[in-house]
Amino acid sequence: MDYLPIFLAIRGARCLIVGGGEVATRKVRLVKEAGGEVVVVAPDLTPTLAALCEQGAITHIARAFDAADVAGAALVIAATNRPRVNALVSSAARAAHVPVNVVDQPALCSVIMPSIIDRSPVLIAVSTSGASPVLARILRARLETVIGSGYGALARFTAQRRTAVRQRLPRPLDRRRFWERVLQGPIADLVLGGRAREAEAAFETALAAPKARPGALVSLIGAGPGDPDLLTLRALRLMQEADIVVYDRLVAPPILALCRRDARRIDVGKSPGRHALPQEAINRLLVELAQGDQRVVRLKGGDPFIFGRGGEEIEALVAAGIAFQVVPGITAALGCAAYGNLPLTHRDYAQSCVFVTGHCQNARAALPWASLAHGRQTIVFYMGVAALATIERELIAHGLSPATPAALIERGTTPEQRVVTGTLKDLTRLAQGAGIAPPTLIVIGEVVRLHARWAQNQAFSPRARSAS
Ligand code: SAH
């Protein structure tokens, strides 16, 4: 380490900023946010600083810097565009043993300023020790997304209850366990979700019986269609807190890799015709796992409620008196449309869109073909590869034009994504010719025309193939 990270208490202390330009203005704002008494030494000020001075929020000494100015300061920042002045400020401050920062000149600094994620009272500072300020900003942006705006509220929630917890649980070890449970469980989730009143009630219940086992809870999480970037922030958080992850074949390995490293992983994957675990056994397994003192995550491809049998699993949990929560995911149709470059609705081509399963004992008898087969509607078939011939025949028999554009999107949103386009009448032939296999989504409707038109401008480039 080239630097020791520390946080400086400057509330009410004199902080000297040398310079009155734009950079100085940003520094003044930052120092004021931390409660510093700002004194600006500069011949001229930006309008913003002049206004602050007018309001009495800062003090302005309207002249050039003098070495004596650093006396009594808790912090000195040089933000002028004159190297000679900056060097002078640095040496004067160092001689007076006052921490000094010279903007963009690490060699002249005794303290350097990090990039900040402000979730007050939670503060996260990122520094590259001056090696790459741009990288620090990029890292900051990443952390901003993972550490949501609710963490400040969570820290305040905790601060307000520490005395009560100390009284209730005098032993430090008991207190630590209690807080770990609160901060990694449903109570924290409620606070982060902005549901303060429910969080308060749940906290009171937990504190009344701090050693009682927490109620069983299973989180059904939609993992999206394949690209890990399509996970929701809530899904990611719960995955990183999981003790046990029960997952499907459709959950891509890069997504599974984002679960907490020590979590136990249970594969209940199903592939067509080969049932690794029947649905009833999965339901029983979830009920059983939830009885332990562990956080169970049920990770499902796409969205749990779109052909995901999430409803059946919840029925089983409800019957066993186990609490659940559902985190929605991006369903295959939305992911495949976006990455496959075709809109599901479009004012010129489709005013409605239906999601249909092709996986039924007898698709021909089971599906409402007449209501599916009309123009100006996009039909999306999930699990339809085995039923392609039936889909093709029945839609045409019920009046849909054989020339209706159609697309097959295999492994959408993943690096292996393939898009094959053609028309309804040769869907089966297309799929066979390209060797299309599940997981594949079938999209039928005029919107598919746009795929070819947009192809050359698409930034994300799957191995698209047009066979029309
Ligand atoms: N709950 C899931 C769907 C499960 S059914 C969701 O909301 O997406 C399984 C079917 O989903 C597959 O047969 C396939 O038709 C479709 N599917 C899932 N992921 C896919 C992907 N990455 N690309 C194409 N189709 C996909």
Taking only the tens place, the pLDDT of each residue in 218-249 is 999 999 999 999 999 889 989 988 999 999 98
Q: In the predicted model, is pLDDT for residue 286 greater than 50?
A: yes
Of 308, 330, 352, the residue at which a domain comes to its end is 330
pLDDT in tens, 320-334: 999 899 999 999 999
Per DSSP, 236 falls in state: H
Instruction: State whether 290 and 361 are in the same domain.
Output: no
Q: Within 13 Å, how many C-alpha atoms sit on residue 348's CB side?
A: 6
Q: In the predicted model, is pLDDT for residue 275 greater than 70?
A: no
Query: Range of 94's domain?
Result: 14-113
Question: Are 329 and 302 within 8 A, CB to CB?
Answer: yes
Question: Are 179 and 236 within 8 A, CB to CB?
Answer: no
Single pTM value for the model:
0.74
Instruction: State whether 247 and 266 are in the same domain.
Output: yes
Helix (H, G, I), strand (E, B) or coil at 243: coil
**260 lies in a domain?**
yes
pLDDT at 272: 53
pLDDT at 144: 87
**401 lies in a domain?**
yes
Cα 80 to ligand 1 centre (Å): 58
Among 69, 189, 227, 248, the one annotated catalytic: 248
Q: In the predicted model, is pLDDT for residue 146 greater than 90?
A: no
**161 lies in a domain?**
no
Task: Output 216 or 43, whichever has higher pLDDT.
Answer: 43
Q: Which of 309, 411, 419, 440 to mutate to test the pocket of ligand 1 (most atoms within 8 A of CB)?
A: 440
- CATH code of residue 30: 3.40.50.720
* Reported confidence tier of residue 462, pLDDT bands at 50, 70, 90: very low
* Reported confidence tier of residue 270, pLDDT bands at 50, 70, 90: low
* Reported confidence tier of residue 271, pLDDT bands at 50, 70, 90: low
**181 lies in a domain?**
no
Instruction: State whether 356 and 454 are in the same domain.
Output: yes
* Reported confidence tier of residue 465, pLDDT bands at 50, 70, 90: very low
Helix (H, G, I), strand (E, B) or coil at 69: helix
**389 lies in a domain?**
yes
Alpha-carbon distances of 191 from 11, 203, 266, rounded to whole Å: 29, 10, 30
Q: Ligand 1, atom 2: nearest CA belongs to which residue?
A: 302
Instruction: State whether 308 and 342 are in the same domain.
Output: no
Closest to 41 measured CA to CA, from 22, 14, 26, 59: 59
Cα 123 to ligand 1 centre (Å): 40
Instruction: State whether 337 and 460 are in the same domain.
Output: yes
Instruction: State whether 449 and 341 are in the same domain.
Output: yes
**93 lies in a domain?**
yes
Atom of ligand 1 nearest to the CA of 413: 22
Atom of ligand 1 nearest to the CA of 332: 8
Instruction: State whether 360 and 391 are in the same domain.
Output: yes
Task: Output 214 or 93, whichever has higher pLDDT.
Answer: 93
**406 lies in a domain?**
yes
Q: Which of 250, 326, 359, 436 to mutate to test the pocket of ligand 1 (most atoms within 8 A of CB)?
A: 250
Q: Ligand 1, atom 24: nearest CA belongs to which residue?
A: 440
Instruction: State whether 462 and 364 are in the same domain.
Output: yes
Of 78, 113, 148, the residue at which a domain comes to its end is 113
Work out the percent of the chain whose per-residue pLDDT is above 90: 78
* Reported confidence tier of residue 211, pLDDT bands at 50, 70, 90: confident
Helix (H) or strand (E) holding 167: helix 162-168
Of 281, 314, 330, the residue at which a domain comes to its end is 330
Name the pairing type of β-strands 75-78 and 14-18: parallel
The chain-wide mean pLDDT, for the chain, equals: 92
Instruction: State whether 225 and 347 are in the same domain.
Output: no
Atom of ligand 1 nearest to the CA of 409: 24
Residues lining ligand 1, judged by CB closer than 6 Å? 225-226, 250, 300-303, 306-308, 331-332, 336, 382-383, 409, 411-413, 438-441
- What value does the mean pLDDT take over residues 361-389? 91
* Reported confidence tier of residue 149, pLDDT bands at 50, 70, 90: confident
Instruction: State whether 307 and 341 are in the same domain.
Output: no
Per DSSP, 438 falls in state: S
In the residue annotation, 303 being an active-site residue is answered as: no
Instruction: State whether 325 and 447 are in the same domain.
Output: no
Cα 226 to ligand 1 centre (Å): 9
- CATH code of residue 265: 3.40.1010.10
Instruction: State whether 221 and 299 are in the same domain.
Output: yes
In the residue annotation, 248 being an active-site residue is answered as: yes
Cα 381 to ligand 1 centre (Å): 9
Residue type, position 154, single letter: L
pLDDT in tens, 52-64: 999 999 999 999 9
* Reported confidence tier of residue 467, pLDDT bands at 50, 70, 90: very low
* Reported confidence tier of residue 273, pLDDT bands at 50, 70, 90: low
* Reported confidence tier of residue 101, pLDDT bands at 50, 70, 90: very high
**1 lies in a domain?**
no
Q: Ligand 1, atom 9: nearest CA belongs to which residue?
A: 383
Q: Ligand 1, atom 5: nearest CA belongs to which residue?
A: 307
Cα 323 to ligand 1 centre (Å): 27
Atom of ligand 1 nearest to the CA of 384: 15
Cα 224 to ligand 1 centre (Å): 9
pLDDT at 463: 44
Domain count, the chain: 3
Copy the structure tokens of residue 445. Answer: 């409707």
- CATH code of residue 452: 3.30.950.10
- β-partners of residue 100 are 76
